[in-house]
Amino acid sequence: MKFNRNFLKLFLVGSMLILFFSMNAICADEKNFEMVTIVKDLQHPCWLELIVGANKAVKDLGNINMDVVGPVKGYNLEEQLTLMETYIAKGVDAIIITPIDSKGIARGVKKANDAGILIATPNTKALGGDILTYIGVENFEVGYTVGKAFCEVFGVEEANIVFLEGTPGASTSEERKKGFFAAFDEFENVNVLASQTAHYNRTEALQVTENLLQRFDNLNGVAACDTQMALGALEAVRAAGKIGEIKICGFDVCSSDMLTVVAKGEVVLTGDQQFFSQGYLSVLSCWAALNGISIPREQYLPVVTVEQEEAKEYIKIRQELFKTVED
């Protein structure tokens, strides 16, 4: 989906209000619900934005006590599982978790199920156990939509690109990669020189891209499946003096840094998967279920692509939205 100037604000606010007003017709339990949000990493901008959305829902609903935690070492599955066990022992009503490993997290999900604790998984699915709801984009569609838009930027020019993968084993990474490659396969002028993980890490992406630039003299494109890897790739391209020669695309607009470089044309395009909404709707869904409201097992948000001419306006819309949240 192409960016629309009012889409972001209307979707984020509208989707919340529809659910919120429908729930106002139900007499909510006066008790306070205990919840925890467990993210993959407490430094990455996307998880910080998800936390902002979750906290906004807590503020709006009023009868929720919520902790926000994550691994000390980002993207560490065993730490996530330990955190789940801690909050299962505390007897919380709901756990909201973005699984680092979709299959690996099933151990924790099943323990929560046995304890009668609701599980919601924004952004990344859990493959095992009983989940109340998944809220996020369809990640194959993310890869396909952004990948196709990136290929179209090259026109008829030969595109010799490298692909920066996310964390192996996470459903977001695996599905997104399949989508990108489905798009690449539709273009005869697109050649994928290499596909390598950088674990959603900016520093690692910088190092990986530096190595790939040395390895491939004809490289003229880098596709990364998240913001931080795209920004790391950009640092490597800038250091090599090849800004403008090598086209870069990424995904997510949770970082103002990303929108800034898209606005400058240093990154040709990115996408948005509504992290704020993911956090907000996860809390709201758990709250609704605890009040006896039926919640769909999967809630998909649309993918929006953002290119250079749209980035500045997108920044303004997000500033207005988050100013409203802070107020």
Domains of the chain, CATH where assigned:
7-137+274-301 (3.40.50.2300), 139-272 (3.40.50.2300)
What is residue 28's predicted lDDT score, i.e. its pLDDT?
47
Please tell me the distance from the alpha carbon of residue 282 to that of residue 56, in angstroms, as a whole number. Answer: 11
DSSP result, 54-104: HHHHHHHH-SEEEEEE--SSTT-HHHHHHHHHHHHHHT-SEEEE--SSTTT
Does residue 116 have a pLDDT over 90?
yes
**Residue (of 93, 104, 94) closest to 71 by Cα position:** 104
pTM for the model: 0.80
Pairing mode, strands 221-224 and 190-197: unpaired
DSSP 3-state of 303: coil
Q: What is the pLDDT of residues 43-80, one digit of tens each?
A: 888 899 899 999 999 999 999 999 999 999 989 999 99
What is residue 327's predicted lDDT score, i.e. its pLDDT?
61
Does residue 4 have a pLDDT over 50?
no
Percent with pLDDT over 70 in the chain: 89
- Describe the crossing of helices 227-239 and 202-215 by its angle, rounded to 10 degrees: 50
> How many other CB atoms are found less than 10 A from the CB of residue 326?
8
What is residue 3's predicted lDDT score, i.e. its pLDDT?
47
Q: What is the pLDDT of residues 128-181, one digit of tens each?
A: 999 999 999 999 999 999 999 999 999 999 999 999 999 888 878 999 999 999
Report residue 273's pLDDT band, with 50, 70 and 90 as the boundaries.
confident
CA angle (298, 304, 310) in 5-degree steps: 160
